[in-house]
Structure 1
């Protein structure tokens, strides 16, 4: 093991500011600088609802590959391996220590996160068992990695709710818009139109109704508790791969992937009904108004947000506690979109 090469890899990883890049840097470092010659290194995470969790590959380097591979964040998680299919990974998470099993190849598994709901492990596949010095080095590197991820979370997540923040939204939006643009180009090919409709990106803006009255009547501490509970409802009522953001105040944003307008509406309606039925401590029942729009390949974050926000405005004007679709508002003539910029909206 070349100490200078390892330190250089650690320095490069510490300069990264995106989680996916850090995950790839970690597995590449282990593959090339700590256990050179191993067959494969993979970082896997448990995703899904309790009792229905699956393993998602976050980054993987194999001897036969020149670049990292991963399961797409929007992949159909039901097709991924079940948690129970890999009991040794579960054992490593449970005991919080390395687990080795098998011979030729030997699998060495290190737990990164021990929370069963967000379990994450590093798995190394090699011809021989790892020597003690390699085991210790990997353990130290994983400690550094956890600290770096903690700093990244501090910058990417809303301090109150733990949801992603406005700062982290732009990068995720640009990646989604680029993929949406590619899908729209696929739509021009008649033989590929069905795949397009299976992979559309949608953006929803959610606003808590009469939230100012909650703060005025019960105080800001209770208001903050409502925001925390709203974020918890978002995590449980929405799907695990939907990307959840708090933009500030009582405004939340969801980035999601659905096959069509009806499915996007159904996902949001389930959330709206869950919020409506929930009894918030001291406050009672709270409702939310939601607006959503299909992402476009030439979108900017502001253009897409403004469309969804206009739909939220219409939901509030129509009585609150409801969902409005930007596309349906256009179709009904309730709003008119200027074709020049995509942002000139008039209300009748």
Structure 2
């Protein structure tokens, strides 16, 4: 383990310069690997933490999470550092807490830690804890707890990176945008407090409908966006149907059930962040103008002749 003060300061700086929860965890893993000379490090999500994958790990560290390793379970239950028995595949597990609740576990698999190393790992986990709160607050909508528009660009860029690197091909990535039909009428009839309650209920329904790998955003007002990861078109349709059905359970006798209009576009190699949002918005407006309480796929509207593809001059660059 390097003890050079400059190296440690650079490691801390690397962690605190991150502005995304996923990149923050990646930076923590890389810092521990470089500082302590290990190569099997993971950050495991064990609590109800939105917008964080189930596990992030170093390359080559494959870990089955069902059930959780005994040292991780003990770490969650006791809320303290757990040194594993030599017969287990894990060596040390450290709790990462928010509001005094263990929400993640930092797991190092190939280390026989001495007291100085445990102190170092505690320090790194505390730095991560503190800065994760800052990052999460800056990227989270204060009313609904969904991601905000500030977090959108980085998530969308990650999807385009996956497509261009051919790690997965479209149409497994989708952008889904929707809003509440006649939301102004809800606010005008029942007041803004009830309108906020509708937004809160809808955000809970979104978390039930969509998976942890699907990034969910509130853009403001009643405008929502979901980036769907690794879904077929049929799966997207099932999710939209479920979302509409669940939204209808938000009911008031003066306004009836809540309904949504949804626009969907697939992410393709020829797209960019501006064009894919434009396609989803056009599909959303089509859904609104043709009955509401429905969804529309942009590519189907083009294929069926319900919409003309946009004309873009060759000398205009969207990047």
Normalised TM-score (structure 2): 0.84
The residue number in structure 2 matching 1:24 is 26
Shift in alpha-carbon separation, 1:28–1:122, aligned structure 2, 3 A = same
Q: Which residue of 1 aligns with 2:132?
A: 149
Rounded Cα–Cα distance in structure 1 between residues aligned with 2:146 and 2:230? 21
In structure 2, the partner of 1:86 is 69
Matches of 1:149 and 1:59, distance apart in 2: 17
Aligned counterpart, 1:76: none
Task: Please state whether the residue corresponding to 1:246 is helix, strand or coil.
Answer: strand
Q: 1:179–1:297: 8 Å Cα contact kept in structure 2?
A: no
Q: Give the Å deviation of 1:254.
A: 0.8
Distance of 2:108 and 2:254 partners within structure 1: 50
Q: Does 1:319 align with 2:319?
A: no
Cα deviation, residue 69, structure 1: 6.0
Closer/same/farther in 2, CA of residues 122 and 314 from structure 1, 3 Å limit: same
Report matched runs for 1:59-78 at 5 Å.
59-60=57-58, 68=59
1:173 alignment partner, SS class: helix
Distance of aligned partners of 1:196 and 1:15 in 2 relative to their CA distance in 1, 3 Å threshold: closer
Q: Distance in 1 between matches of 2:110 and 2:306?
A: 63
- Which of 212, 216, 219 is matched with 1:240 structurally? 212
Partner residue in 1 for 2:106: 122
Helix, strand or coil: the match of 1:338? Answer: coil
| Pair 164,280 (structure 1): closer, same or farther in 2 beyond 3 Å | farther
CA positional deviation for 1:203: 0.7
Residues 173, 107 of structure 1: CA spacing in aligned structure 2 closer, same or farther, 3 A cutoff? Answer: same
Aligned-partner Cα distance in 1 for 2:61–2:262: 33
Checking the alignment, whether the CA contact within 8 Å between 1:39 and 1:127 is kept in structure 2 is: no
Does residue 102 (structure 1) correspond to residue 85 (structure 2)? The answer is yes
Q: Distance in 1 between matches of 2:244 and 2:61?
A: 33
Residue 216 of structure 2 contacts residue 227 of structure 2 at CA under 8 Å; is this kept in 1? yes
Offset at 1:102?
Answer: 1.9
Count the aligned residue pairs. Answer: 307
What is the Cα deviation at residue 145 of structure 1? 1.1
Residue 118 to residue 301, structure 1, CA distance change in 2 (3 Å): farther
Mapped contact 1:206–1:288 kept (Cα < 8 A)? yes
The answer to whether structure 1 residue 231 and structure 2 residue 197 are counterparts is no
Distance 1:155 1:280, change over 3 A: farther
Deviates more, 1:18-27 or 1:290-299: 18-27
**TM-fit CA distance, 1:284:** 6.0
Q: C-alpha deviations, 1:44-66, integer Å up to 9, x for none?
A: 22489xxxxxx943132xxxxxx
Secondary structure of the corresponding residue to residue 333 of structure 1: coil
Cα offsets for 1:240-259 (capped at 9, x unmatched): 21111111110100111345
Contact 2:47 2:102 in 1 (8 A): yes
**Unaligned regions of 5+ residues in structure 1, if any?**
49-54, 61-67, 72-79, 187-194, 343-348
What is the Cα deviation at residue 234 of structure 1?
Answer: 0.5
Matches within 5 A, 1:214-229: 214-229=186-201
Higher relative contact order (CA 8 A, sep 6+): 2
Contiguous gaps of at least 5 residues in structure 2? 315-319
3-state SS of 1:289 partner: strand
For normalisation by structure 1, the TM-score amounts to 0.78
**Contact 1:258-1:264 at 8 Å conserved across structures:** no
Q: Does 1:2 align with 2:9?
A: no
Kept in 2: contact 1:93–1:114 (CA 8 A): no
